[in-house]
Amino acid sequence: MQRINLLYVITKLELGGAQKQLLTLIRHLDKKRFHLFLFTAKDGLLLPEALSINGLTIKKSICLERPINPLKDLLALIEIHRFIKKNNIEIVHTHSSKAGILGRLAARLAKVKIIIHAVHGWSFNDYQPRVERLFFIWLERLSARFSDKLIVASNYDRQKGLDNHIGRENKYTLIHYGIDYTEFNIREQNIRKELRIDANDLVVGMVSCFKPQKSPQDFIKLAFLVSKALPNVKFLLVGDGILHGKIEKLIHKFNLQKQVILTGWRRDIPRILSAIDIFVLTSLWEGLPIAVLEAMASNKPVISTDTGGVREVITEGKSGFLVLPGDMLKMSERLAVLLKDKNLRAEMGQNARDSLDFNFALTNMIRESKNLYEDIMRRKGVVYAN
């Protein structure tokens, strides 16, 4: 049986939810039916993991990068187009905003039979200048015209796309992020010793890239507000990024060196989550953050800004609390309630775990993705040749 040539395009294999989901999907696809290719930036924390996957051919681009650069973007477009033609790619599945636009345009120019895009949060948001926002909406509308399917992880992203006239409703398919629940069943105390946290300390944690979208400075402001009343609470911030310097300055400005722990990037997120008592997220905008789902799978109550699809998984007052983006005063009040009530933390954490049904299971994400490929292939006449 001749395999179908399937190319994934993602901007950068950083340690994020979209990247982890993509590599998980690649691992579980039938390599006897698909010849798998991946086009991505030349560096990234998850690149070694991708290189270890048997049966995956990887093209590392020197031109593809997240910041807008007209010359490099044009060269990346040409590079993707040539790669598609050279390897006779029949399906292109793009992930992330930059790769989604360049990858789909290159696929269209190369007359690829099937073009799919996974929306991990849109390329536009309410915090952009109006002209920039309208430009990205126009690009998304253009790219959607030659996309066979737009995969969203939340109903919020589907509605946001439709509200901005990006594709028709029948182009959208909802496939939730998949969580391997067994990874989050651990209860390990050694991680607290490793992080120099006392066994009896209460710990508030956040896992995120240090970039404007996630607003990690608000996490430090939250720590300052809570520490005034509860000075013994520890705040664990997991990740790194361009805002690292500003975060360190805020920690020193508020004299929080003893309260805030910066871990840098970690590959053992289940262990980290086992060490915290409450998970928070301070994002300004989101699609559906996988970090929230992982915290819920770890039986942790969640306090999050009310952004993107978070409302679809967190039930106010039952599995967590939602506050407006930037409202750290309200978040600190909600946090104080949970910090002072052990039973409420346990109840909300259990409710969070119980609310994650089969729709968010890893096996379901893989099955839905495979079924989508097979359905589009049947409709478009792409078959496995003998």
**What pLDDT does 207 receive?**
96
Q: Is residue 156 part of a domain?
A: yes
Mean of pLDDT values over 366-372: 95
pTM for the model:
0.93
Instruction: Round the CA-based radius of gyration of the chain to a whole number and report it.
Output: 21
pLDDT in tens, 64-90: 998 889 999 999 999 999 999 999 999
Q: Residue 364 corresponds to which tokens in the numbers above?
A: 């379901």
Residues 48 and 102 grouped into a single domain: yes
Cα–Cα distance between 174 and 151 in angstroms, integer? 6
Mean model confidence pLDDT for the chain? 95
Residues 168 and 270 grouped into a single domain: no
Residues 139 and 227 grouped into a single domain: no
**What pLDDT does 89 receive?**
97
> What whole-number percentage of the chain has pLDDT above 90?
90
pLDDT in tens, 254-303: 999 999 999 999 999 999 999 999 999 999 999 999 999 999 999 999 99
CATH number at residue 109: 3.40.50.2000
Cα–Cα distance between 118 and 364 in angstroms, integer? 16
Residues 146 and 235 grouped into a single domain: no
Q: Is residue 254 part of a domain?
A: yes
Residues 79 and 58 grouped into a single domain: yes
* pLDDT confidence tier of residue 346, bands split at 50, 70 and 90: very high
Could you give the 3-state DSSP secondary structure of residue 62? Answer: coil
Backbone angles phi, psi at 19, to 5 degrees: -65, -45
Would the pLDDT of 310 be above 80?
Answer: yes
In contact, 157 and 287? CB cutoff 8 Å: yes
Cα–Cα distance between 304 and 44 in angstroms, integer? 27
Residues 117 and 191 grouped into a single domain: no
Residues 57 and 199 grouped into a single domain: no
Beta bridge partners of 91: 6, 114
Q: Is residue 52 part of a domain?
A: yes
* pLDDT confidence tier of residue 185, bands split at 50, 70 and 90: confident
* pLDDT confidence tier of residue 386, bands split at 50, 70 and 90: low
Residues 287 and 309 grouped into a single domain: yes
pLDDT in tens, 145-163: 999 999 999 999 999 999 9
Number of structural domains found in the chain: 2
**What pLDDT does 343 receive?**
97
Q: Is residue 168 part of a domain?
A: yes
Mean of pLDDT values over 186-199: 85
Cα–Cα distance between 128 and 68 in angstroms, integer? 14
Residues 246 and 341 grouped into a single domain: yes
Q: Is residue 385 part of a domain?
A: no
Residues 260 and 141 grouped into a single domain: no
Mean of pLDDT values over 198-206: 94
* pLDDT confidence tier of residue 199, bands split at 50, 70 and 90: confident
* pLDDT confidence tier of residue 173, bands split at 50, 70 and 90: very high
Could you give the 3-state DSSP secondary structure of residue 46? Answer: coil
Q: Is residue 386 part of a domain?
A: no
Residues 113 and 210 grouped into a single domain: no
Q: Is residue 143 part of a domain?
A: yes
pLDDT in tens, 7-59: 999 999 998 889 999 999 999 999 999 999 999 999 999 999 999 999 999 99
Would the pLDDT of 384 be above 80?
Answer: no
**What pLDDT does 154 receive?**
96
Q: Is residue 93 part of a domain?
A: yes
Would the pLDDT of 333 be above 60?
Answer: yes
Residues 347 and 366 grouped into a single domain: no
In contact, 335 and 278? CB cutoff 8 Å: yes
Torsion, Cα of 368, 371, 377, 382 (10° steps): 120
Residues contacting residue 254 through CB under 8 Å, at least 6 positions apart: 220, 221, 223, 224, 227
Residue 45: give the domain boundaries: 4-178+361-380
Cα–Cα distance between 1 and 226 in angstroms, integer? 62
Would the pLDDT of 92 be above 60?
Answer: yes
